[in-house]
Chains A and B, each alone.
Chain A
């Protein structure tokens, strides 16, 4: 064996030990496995609409139909205010981050369990699984953005300069989805209750976010404060602000963003602590 090969070998000595307490996050390893992350996202996308008659069209149909229904019920029948923006555009702009967020957490929550065969047969940083589940939502988001641009053109709505903050708002939504998704994924390995609770959670969260209505409808006072602590309130309001130049998100959003970051860091450590037992429990 050549000296070179020997160097390479000694450079990659792995030590296997029993788990002990809280572990370092090892984000470097995550980076090393970035190609696998890419392939997991790619698989998610490729498989999602296989053997469906209209395939990728589903990405478009779901939010469009939802938008149409909401526009009729909330805009026409209930006559809710939409801050001067055509109701369909008003709703679609909110559905964009919302669908990404809700889809991401529901996929992430079941991701480890549905990839049990991988967990029990191969080693890789387990975090890649919920990560891929969340990030694959970004592709749908891109498609939505194109549709939104079309709708805005149709309704002649011109965005303000604030549209440049959109990527930042997407990042907040992704971080929020990760923070929740990673917790749920890890918990679901042990407690399948999570899987059952997800639809409720999403439904309640949906109603507690200004997707189908304007945030201005929420009465001020303690309710308003609580409402603004929901990170998705900030994100959705932010989207409308960035696209239509309407009311900017409440300053309380900063608190919810901070909370999201704290929750995410906690999720990462919690996940790291549990990941070694996934293969035994799942």
Chain B
């Protein structure tokens, strides 16, 4: 029987909000508020003014969130800003109490809500390792035992006895993460601390996180990055406006997340022809993103081919029709256009009927991220665009860290809109020794 490491039962957290209320109150505020409240109650008693309901200035950052995490599971928590994921982590880390509901955590829990909590700029790297370790809940003996390992991981070397205010930001983060990474907790609650540091270091961090999972540690990883979550967590939980929306295998949850994120889906169908994009010649009926197995998928492995399927009705015969697809990334960069060059229908007027045109994008072609597809149908001479549905469908390309994608063994962020695997060859020129020293042939 699998052992439960963490159980959340109907966790809810209410915050008071309101622009007039700063984070803290002055005594005058409290006094005047107390007075107002008393007066208001008095007014209320004689029904001069109704009492304001308390719900006016409160917000549920978390509402009825229940889930269980088994020992050794690595679970991602995803959601947009303000979805409650950070609040959930704070409640589970015991930084703040839930308003209602409860949670049980079995085992030594450690939370990493930021790297370098309690780091003091005036203290040296050595001092900060001890201070930060103690703040994260490590014993002094434990820190001393791991000290060398932490220093090696952080690669701070000679600067160990220099105040950290003289560190570069990259070095600072490396040191901070190094301490955190050596926290020996059975249950780790991690915020997006991986989103910092230089690329080579990120790779080390990701390795460390993966190791944590492999060692049977339970990890809860909060992020808004679908890529990071899919990479690290087999299972994830989607939060939206404080509610738990979906809980399941990460690729499924990512589908839901992409759905809530940009309002785009991997399959769109227009059941009512009158409302479908198009004109009296042709109308778009459906656009779908499919994997090799034919299933509609929002999340795609970068190494596998992806099919975009255009289903359309031709209403009037006699037109040469060219289906074409337009690709954009999440920054709205226009990546490329592809159009149907297939000989079967090239320069051949199409009879009335339903057509399904499919274009295959090869694996190891697009960069990871969100791809947004526009679907169009055109006649070239004279140029007529029968329909162009700009943001028809979207899908996510996910680059695994298995080492056989274009990123190879590199785990950091990779720029570029395409990510092909290209052929490399190397010619080795051994040095040639003669009387005047080494030369190259």
Contacts and interface: CB of A to CB of B under 8 A. Distances in A.
Interface of A: 1, 6, 8-10, 12-19, 35-36, 38-39, 42-43, 46-47, 50-51, 117-124, 189-193, 276-277, 279-282
Contacts of A124: 135, 137
Highest count of chain B CB atoms <10 Å: which of A17, A46, A121, A277: A121
A47 B123 contact: yes
Interface string B89-110: 0111111111111111111110
A189 B95 contact: no
27 contacts: A6-B3, A9-B5, A14-B109, A16-B103, A17-B97, A18-B97, A18-B100, A19-B97, A35-B134, A36-B134, A36-B135, A39-B134, A43-B127, A47-B122, A118-B117, A119-B95, A120-B95, A122-B111, A122-B135, A122-B137, A124-B135, A190-B24, A191-B27, A191-B30, A280-B15, A280-B96, A282-B24
Contacts of B135: 36, 39, 118, 122, 124
Contacts of A117: 117-118
Contacts of A50: 122-123, 163
Nearest to A119: B95
A1 to B, nearest CB: 6
A117 B96 CA distance: 14
Contacts of A35: 134, 139-140
B402 to A, nearest CB: 27
Nearest to B133: A39
Given A10-B106, A18-B101, A1 B134 contact: no
B57 interface: no
Contacts of B91: 16
Contacts of A121: 95, 113-114, 117
Contact of B94 (A1, A36, A123, A281): A123
The 4 A-B pairs of least Cβ separation, nearest first, read A123-B94, A9-B107, A39-B134, A50-B122
B125 to A, nearest CB: 13
Contact of B131 (A18, A39, A120): A39
A196 to B, nearest CB: 9
A1 B96 contact: no
Contacts of B28: 193
B23 interface: yes
B52 to A, nearest CB: 21
Nearest to B135: A122
A189 B92 contact: no
Contact of B102 (A12, A17, A123, A280): A17
Contact of B117 (A38, A122, A191): A122
Given A121-B117, A193-B26, A14 B105 contact: yes
A9 B90 contact: no
Contacts of B123: 43, 46-47, 50
B268 interface: no
Contacts of A276: 96-97
Given A35-B134, A39-B134, A46-B123, A1 B3 contact: yes
Nearest to A188: B24
Nearest to A48: B122
B107 A16 contact: no
A16 B3 CA distance: 19
Contacts of A8: 107-108
Nearest to B134: A39
B108 A39 contact: no
A279 B89 CA distance: 13
Interface string B129-166: 01100111101100000000000000000000001000
Given A14-B109, A193-B26, 6 more contacts: A15-B103, A18-B97, A39-B135, A43-B120, A47-B123, A123-B111
Contacts of A6: 3
B2 to A, nearest CB: 11
B427 interface: no
Name, among B27, B100, B108, B127, the residue most crowded by chain A CB atoms within 10 Å (CB to CB). Answer: B27
Interface string B61-88: 0000000000110000000000000000
A198 to B, nearest CB: 13
